[in-house]
Chains A and B, each alone.
Chain A
Amino acid sequence: MAEVLVVVEHLEGAPKKVTFEMLTAARALGEPSAVVFGAPGTADKLTEKLGEFGAQKVYVAESDDITGYLVAPKAEVLASLVERTQPAAVLLASSSEGKEVAGRLAIKIGSGIITGATEVAADGTATQVIFAGAVIVKSKVRTGTPIITVTPNAVTPVPAPATPQTEAVEVAVSDNAKLARVVDRKVESAGSRPELSEASIVVSGGRGVGSADNFSVIEGLADSLGAAVGASRAATDSGFYPHQFQVGQTGKTVSPQLYMAIGISGAIQHRAGMQTSKTIVAVNKDEEAPIFELADFGVVGDLFKVVPDATEQIKARKG
């Protein structure tokens, strides 16, 4: 069976859930081989976990040249791996960086590329949800080795224990791939809450929340559910909540089991980032708010009455 290269998404050696989703998706296409990029010592922390989700091999590309320069070194290493292993496909996460590595790789190896896949079939057909969730498309790469980027939270990760063989990959980065230097890297963490794009429940607040202080109402509900906190752009632009928690077209795309939109009108750009959530709940005082068109359950009412009350009741139920 042909190999399928899966580029591991991780934060300083901690695997992201999308990695397991990609390994699961890859098994439909062939034998998953994980590719770990990072500083020396990264793969050691990951190998066992990668095996749990079916990685037969782990290619280890560790070098300060990988972390020290933007995107281009990864594309270069992948291009040589593709040439050597002739994989059935290359899967990457549909993150900004994943897509950019995919784009450069496509040009290097002369392949087609599909971004934002929510499903990958055995014959390489990828499903995409486009136009803010309005249309489902099935497409296929027809030139070269298919390069597919996979949307986080779309595939259900299924374990398939394996004991991966690890193999060090030579990282010989050309001068051309060293043009953009990464001189500093800052992690703005979500604290103790789950990561937004991976969370199974997301509670988001909008302009209706009214102020940064009031966001404690949103955080309270989120914490009672073990959820991540998100925000609309109106809320981040007004300084109610930090920008990296913005959900939508220009923020994060989330696809949780439950999405709660509190004081959010439901503009198309916001929907673009949350429309594929399994269950959607809205609280809004305007009964005409467009968010109610997507909501499985909507409460027309004042969020400052409904949300704290609901938070208390949830806590009471959980004991």
Chain B
Amino acid sequence: MNIVVLVKQVPDSGSERALRDSDKTVDRESASLVINEMDEYAIEEALQLRDAQGGEVTILTMGPDRATETIRKALSMGPDRAVHISDEALHGACAPQTSLVLAKALEQLEWDLVISGAESTDGRVSVMPAMLAERLNVPQLTGARKLTVDGAKLTIERQTEDGYEIVEAEGKAIVSVWDTINEPRYPSFKGIMQAKSKPVETKSLADLGISPDEVGLANATSEVLEFSPRPPKGAGVKVTDEGDGAQKLVEFLASQKIV
């Protein structure tokens, strides 16, 4: 079974994140950049399937040159190779554009299954897998907390707001996963060394047959008009419990007209 895992490089959610004043896009220069956490679960799921059933795992990333760091990190977990879509003209791409690029790249690869994270920590858009299923006309098995592959039949437990659903499909499909699905492995020293020599193919927009005027900030389908830091909250009150903590807490709730 050949699997493509979609991996996105994002600013570390634990660090200071910002938009750039110049063009209101996510500041990817000053931030410390990491692999989107949820995508590690997607990689783990793919590796488990490969190890059980054979085949290859390919990482697919669209992002600037610096995304190679993230690709090597992903490869150090155990995937076989990677494809990196990098092109100056992609800066500021919106979600529909990114889905166009990833869909074209997927059309050039041979795969049985695509696995992605359910959501990225920067945009928290979580639309990419659905958009790709729409473009590629394959079943969408999204939001999985469990995936079972039985021959050509795929079954997921889809996590929902109210509980879960059992969803099934046959053949090529796009699966997206939540972090409840598995426990991603840590890269081993050997894995880190091997990742350095695994093949990473870089592709440009021209390689995908996409014209620069279909993508990028100037052609994006939505636009950031303005942004501002959220006004800091006024410093709160902090009391140390000396037997009267509960009373002070309840008095606070009363002052807020909550009790």
Tell me the A residues contacting B by CB distance below 8 Å: 11, 70-72, 75, 95-97, 99-104, 106-108, 110-116, 125, 129-144, 176, 179-189, 197, 201, 225, 243-244, 249-250, 252, 257-258, 268-269, 272, 279-281, 283, 287, 292, 294-302, 305-307, 309-310, 313-314, 317-318
Contacts and interface: CB of A to CB of B under 8 A. Distances in A.
Given A107-B134, A181-B167, A182-B167, A300 B238 contact: yes
A54 B99 CA distance: 36
A309 B246 CA distance: 6
27 contacts: A96-B126, A100-B140, A104-B131, A106-B95, A106-B131, A112-B94, A112-B221, A116-B124, A135-B17, A135-B228, A139-B224, A140-B222, A176-B137, A180-B169, A181-B168, A183-B166, A184-B166, A186-B165, A187-B162, A188-B163, A250-B38, A250-B180, A252-B161, A269-B13, A281-B249, A287-B238, A310-B249
Nearest to B38: A250
Interface of B: 13-14, 17-19, 38, 94-96, 99, 118-119, 121-131, 133-135, 137-143, 158-169, 173, 178-180, 220-230, 233, 236-241, 245-250, 252-254, 256, 258-259
Given A104-B130, A112-B222, A249-B13, A179 B161 contact: no
A135 B142 contact: no
Nearest to A144: B221
A90 to B, nearest CB: 14
Nearest to B250: A313
A241 to B, nearest CB: 14
A299 to B, nearest CB: 4
A189 B96 CA distance: 35
Contacts of A112: 94, 96, 220-222
A296 B233 contact: yes
A103 B141 CA distance: 14
A110 B167 CA distance: 28
Contact of B165 (A133, A136, A184): A184
A306 B178 contact: no
B175 to A, nearest CB: 10
Contacts of A143: 221-222
A106 B135 CA distance: 11
Given A106-B96, A140-B225, A295-B236, 8 more contacts: A96-B142, A96-B160, A113-B222, A135-B229, A272-B13, A283-B249, A306-B249, A318-B259
A138 B226 contact: yes
B13 to A, nearest CB: 5
A184 B158 CA distance: 10
A281 B238 CA distance: 10
Contacts of B119: 250
A296 B256 CA distance: 11
A296 B237 contact: yes
A143 B36 CA distance: 28
A72 B140 contact: yes
B41 to A, nearest CB: 10
A108 B135 CA distance: 9
A300 B239 contact: yes
B245 A305 contact: yes
B236 A135 contact: no
A243 B95 CA distance: 29
A301 B228 contact: no
A160 B168 CA distance: 42
Given A139-B222, A297-B237, A185 B163 contact: yes
B215 to A, nearest CB: 12
A258 B258 contact: yes
Given A104-B131, A179-B139, A299-B245, A279 B163 contact: no
Nearest to B219: A143
A272 B124 CA distance: 10
